[in-house]
């Protein structure tokens, strides 16, 4: 019989194989201009110029606030729940690209699931009509629960840029909206390339956005202290039936699968304060399934995830006619299986 650890390893290998074998479809997205685009803004407060200065000084959030006010002045409304990929085109060497979405940082490259039409492209420039060439590829991918791989997000940040005089006059804002096919809405990567025109060799801006929806399923490692004064009945090296004490306060480690009552970001470092059910098996050369409930408690600087569970242990019990201290032959099995339920309390860690 395979041990719990081996069963878990087999499952991980099979899932990794399935994730690798799954075909990743890729298409090119072509957004359509929204009605009235490009918008012309007099920009009497020079919001575009203020954003430029804040970008150069590294005050990214202040720069983003100026761009939001500029977009609002155009008459185009930024709605909660939508994702806006914004390019501020100051010159060929400096065109910051970033994200406007609720409380996300401008340089954040994470989406949490898209719908049909909640993704927009906004190009801001002092050039009349705000011309730009945009190329976007979207690649389907598996969820973190399937791939079980951490994500590394690349950020675009301007380095070593010298301030230049800005062009005067009105500011133009080009706004385009994407239509996202259903299969790409939950989990996909979106690669943006922005150029002044199709023939240009140099990119004005480029970045890749990680679109990974929140989900209910995740993995964890549950650690509990084993019961005190616990024993096993085994056959010793000399064939004698003996009572073997178990290590006291030894840590029992379980690999578990969680189901969260509310969807969580499975790419975050912790589960936050999520309440969830879980089930799994002990990572040891014994078969010991476990099921329970867990939840997080936030201490401000760290989240602690506690659980209460019940595990099932298959222990040895002497058959009728056998006694402790008796010597038995190798071909004799003096035991029958006894199922024992054990309460388990401990801490759970997110995996990976």
Question: Which tens digit of pLDDT belongs to each residue from 14-35?
Answer: 454 454 445 568 899 999 999 9
Nearest Cα residue to 123 out of 62, 56, 192, 199: 192
Quick: pLDDT tens for 182-208: 989 999 999 999 998 888 888 999 999
Q: Which residues contact 267 (CB under 8 A, 6 or more apart)?
A: 110, 144, 150, 151, 212
Q: Burial of 15 by CB count in 10 Å (0-12 exposed, 13-18 middle, 19+ buried)?
A: middle
Residue-range domain boundaries for the chain? 23-212, 216-351
Banded pLDDT at 237 (limits 50, 70, 90): confident
Contacts of 328-331 with C-beta under 8 Å, sequence gap 24+, read: 328/235, 328/239, 328/241, 329/239, 330/239
Using only the alpha carbons of the chain, give its radius of gyration.
Answer: 29
- Rounded to an integer, what distance in angstroms lies between the CA atom of residue 175 and that of residue 87? 11
Maximal CA-CA distance, the chain: 101
Tell me how many helices (H) and strands (E) the chain has: 4, 19
- pLDDT of 4 > 60? The answer is no
Is the Cβ–Cβ distance between 94 and 124 less than 8 Å?
no
Q: What is the mean pLDDT of residues 99-111?
A: 92
- pLDDT of 134 > 60? The answer is yes
pLDDT at 163: 57
Quick: pLDDT tens for 29-71: 999 999 999 999 999 899 999 999 999 888 999 999 999 999 9
- pLDDT of 119 > 90? The answer is yes
DSSP-derived pairing of the beta strands 110-111 and 205-212 = parallel
**Predicted TM-score (pTM) of this structure:** 0.70
pLDDT at 247: 63
Banded pLDDT at 10 (limits 50, 70, 90): very low
Quick: pLDDT tens for 305-337: 889 999 888 777 777 777 777 777 777 777 777
The b/e string for 69-106 (b: 16+ C-beta within 10 A; e otherwise) is ebbebbebeeeeebbbbbbbbbeeebbbbbbbbeebeb
Sign, CA dihedral 342-343-345-349, equals positive
- Rounded to an integer, what distance in angstroms lies between the CA atom of residue 92 and that of residue 264? 40
Report the share of the chain in percent with pLDDT over 70: 82
- pLDDT of 299 > 60? The answer is yes
Mean pLDDT over the full length of the chain = 81
Backbone angles phi, psi at 207, to 5 degrees: -170, 165
48: number of Cβ within 10 Å? 24
Distance of CA 156 to the CA centre of its chain: 20
Q: Which two tokens stand for residue 165?
A: 């005089």
* DSSP one-letter code for 286: S
- Rounded to an integer, what distance in angstroms lies between the CA atom of residue 337 and that of residue 112? 48
In sequence order, what are the beta bridge partners of 351?
A: 219
- Rounded to an integer, what distance in angstroms lies between the CA atom of residue 289 and that of residue 222? 12
Of 58-72, 141-155, 157-171, 181-195, the poorest mean pLDDT is in: 141-155
Instruction: Give the DSSP H/E element, type plus range, for residue 151.
Output: none
Nearest Cα residue to 206 out of 138, 136, 153, 104: 136
């Amino acid at each position: 019989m395979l041990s719990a650890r081996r069963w878990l390893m087999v499952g991980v290998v099979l899932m990794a194989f399935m994730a690798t074998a799954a075909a990743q479809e890729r298409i090119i997205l072509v957004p359509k201009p929204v009605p009235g685009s490009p918008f012309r803004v007099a920009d009497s407060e020079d919001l575009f110029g203020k954003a430029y200065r804040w970008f150069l000084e590294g005050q990214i959030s202040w720069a983003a606030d100026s761009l939001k006010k500029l977009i609002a002045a155009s008459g185009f409304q930024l709605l909660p729940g939508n994702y806006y990929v914004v390019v501020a085109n100051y010159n060929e060497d400096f065109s910051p690209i970033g994200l406007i979405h609720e409380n996300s940082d401008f340089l954040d490259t994470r989406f949490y699931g898209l719908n049909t039409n909640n993704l927009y492209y906004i190009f801001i420039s002092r050039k009349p009509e705000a011309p730009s060439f945009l190329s976007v590829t979207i690649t389907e991918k598996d969820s973190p629960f399937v791939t079980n791989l951490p994500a590394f997000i690349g950020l675009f940040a301007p380095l070593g840029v010298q301030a230049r005089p800005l062009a005067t006059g009105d500011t133009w804002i080009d706004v385009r909206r994407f239509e996202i096919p259903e299969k790409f809405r939950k989990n996909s990567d979106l690669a943006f390339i922005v150029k002044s025109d199709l023939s240009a060799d140099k990119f004005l801006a480029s970045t890749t956005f990680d679109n990974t929806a929140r989900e209910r399923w995740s993995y964890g490692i549950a650690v509990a202290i084993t019961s005190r004064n616990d024993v096993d009945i085994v056959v010793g090296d000399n064939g004698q039936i003996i009572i073997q004490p178990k290590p006291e306060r030894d840590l029992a480690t379980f690999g578990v699968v969680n189901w969260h009552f509310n969807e969580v970001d499975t790419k975050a470092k912790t589960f936050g304060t999520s309440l969830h059910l879980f089930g799994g098996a002990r990572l040891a050369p014994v078969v010991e399934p476990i099921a329970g409930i867990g939840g997080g408690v936030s201490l401000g600087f760290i989240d602690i995830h506690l659980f209460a569970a019940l595990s099932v242990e298959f222990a040895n019990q002497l058959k009728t006619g056998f006694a402790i201290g008796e010597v038995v032959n190798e071909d004799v099995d003096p035991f029958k299986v006894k199922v024992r339920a054990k309460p388990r309390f401990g801490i759970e860690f997110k995996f990976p």
